[in-house]
Amino acid sequence: MVRPFAATLGFLLMSTIHAQVRLLERLPSGSRVFAEQIDGTNSVSVQLWISAKGTEETPLTNGWRHLVEHFMAKRLDTFTDERGIFLSAETSREAMSFKFEAPADKLSACLEGAAKLFEPIDTNGDAIAKEAQLIRHEESGLGVARRFSRAGWAQAFENSRPDPVGELSAIAQATPDALKAIQRRMLAADNLVLTICGAVEPNVAVPKFRQLLSRQLASSELPAFSPPTGATDTVKTSTPSSVGSAVCLKLEGIDRGPSLARIAFALAVAQAFPEVQPLYTVSSKSGLLTLASSRPGVWDLTQSITDRQLSQGPVLLKRWIADTGRVPSRLAAFRGALLSEGSGLTLEMVQLAAAPIGFEEVKQARGEAMTAHRVEGFR
């Protein structure tokens, strides 16, 4: 069923997996809004995804986007607390996300909070120094999988694509004017994706946010952000300051058969050995799947998995995909991450790609893990 909108392109359809209604709309400015109703839930997840396009980091600006995220989220501390809304924010290599989780009757408040993120940040040198210290403490509290994933990226991608947490030496060089310029460029209309999932009526929820997105300028109307350059423009190799070890496998996109087989393998390992933590950020691009533990010798552990344990991989993979479609926060994040990359991949497409994955494919993934990057922490 096609739903016409003045000067917009959108569609409304029924899912064949669940009795869900969804709406995807692209505004003339380039912003996108996605909403999906999920039966059996009383909550909503409202997420704003902001592509890193135009503000890609160099080693000299590594962590500046993370600083901007902190300043944007800080203004919402009181707002969300007073309304009983849970807010989380994260900066990744490809995008920045702000996620509002709340009961369904607080949808309007979530959208109001998302609107506040468009207000220009207000900062100064002292505030930047204070926030840099908070980032340092945040870094020290990273879980074992996140720590080893940082080191694995440096190995697997040959020191390219700086880690989004940032380098403290680079963060210390950020200026108020530079951060304001980054935020303005980040919020270009064609960088923006809003996802709304859960107990919502898409054709009611989407119009509430359309007006705000329509006011944003396209990237072609904004000045380019010019990061500083210098002789130290090299990426540092991360070394995990953590006890334990990890195996890191490169993936070539969430819809690729070999990638899905490796995810199935990782899920089977995590079920067989609960001390192993898998970590992967959904993407249509090259990425990294990390299997980490606070114990040494994870590689040996992954190779010791029995065929019987391994045979659970395809089942766990299909359950992981199905659960993504049932949980508002997971579905909103899945579509937000992909749409912010410019990918139109849907959960159904990934489900179809996963259908042929069986024991032999997962067994092959185990063999590929033998040549994966191994990261060792201190003992």
* Spatial separation of the C-alpha atoms in residues 317 and 305, rounded to whole Å: 17
Sign of the Cα torsion 219, 217, 205, 111 reads positive
**Residue 329: which domain range?**
245-376
Q: What is the pLDDT of residue 224?
A: 82
Q: What is the pLDDT of residue 241?
A: 64
Residue 165 falls within a domain, yes or no?
A: yes
* Spatial separation of the C-alpha atoms in residues 110 and 120, rounded to whole Å: 19
Residue 210 falls within a domain, yes or no?
A: yes
Same domain, 184 and 310: no
Same domain, 198 and 129: yes
Q: What is the pLDDT of residue 1?
A: 33
Residue 277 falls within a domain, yes or no?
A: yes
Same domain, 162 and 257: no
Contact 324, 45 (CB under 8 A): no
Same domain, 286 and 209: no
Residue 18 falls within a domain, yes or no?
A: yes
Residue 231 falls within a domain, yes or no?
A: no
How many independent structural domains does the chain possess? 2
Residue 3 falls within a domain, yes or no?
A: no
Same domain, 137 and 257: no
CA angle 332, 333, 337 (to 5 degrees): 120
| C-alpha separations of 176 from 120, 136, 172, 229 in Å | 11, 19, 11, 18
Mapped to the 3 state alphabet, what secondary structure does 56-73 carry? CCCHHHCCHHHHHHHHHH
Q: What is the pLDDT of residue 238?
A: 55
All residue ranges of the chain with pLDDT < 70 are 1-20, 159, 230-241, 378-379
Same domain, 15 and 101: yes
Q: If we measure between CA atoms, which residue out of 65, 198, 190, 41 comes closest to residue 121?
A: 65
Q: What is the pLDDT of residue 9?
A: 33
Q: What is the pLDDT of residue 5?
A: 28
Same domain, 253 and 173: no
CA torsion 293→297→299→301, rounded to 10°? Answer: -80
Same domain, 197 and 276: no
Q: If we measure between CA atoms, which residue out of 258, 284, 280 comes closest to residue 349?
A: 284
Same domain, 76 and 195: yes
Same domain, 84 and 192: yes
Q: What is the pLDDT of residue 20?
A: 52
Q: What is the pLDDT of residue 208?
A: 77
* Spatial separation of the C-alpha atoms in residues 130 and 170, rounded to whole Å: 15
- CATH classification of the domain holding 178: 3.30.830.10
Q: If we measure between CA atoms, which residue out of 140, 164, 154, 208 comes closest to residue 50?
A: 164
Same domain, 83 and 198: yes
* Spatial separation of the C-alpha atoms in residues 209 and 196, rounded to whole Å: 10
pTM equals 0.90
Same domain, 214 and 345: no
The kind and range of the H/E element at 35 are strand 32-37
Residue 356 falls within a domain, yes or no?
A: yes
Q: What is the pLDDT of residue 159?
A: 62
Of the three residues 221, 253, 274, the one that is the final residue of a domain is 221
* pLDDT tens-digit map of 42-89: 999 999 999 999 999 988 999 999 999 999 999 898 999 899 999 999
Residue 228 falls within a domain, yes or no?
A: no
Bridge-partner residues for 98, per DSSP?
A: 48, 89
**CB contact set of 288 (below 8 Å; sequence gap of 6+):** 149, 152, 153, 156, 157, 248, 249, 250, 251, 280
The conformation of residue 221, written as its DSSP 8-state character, comes to G
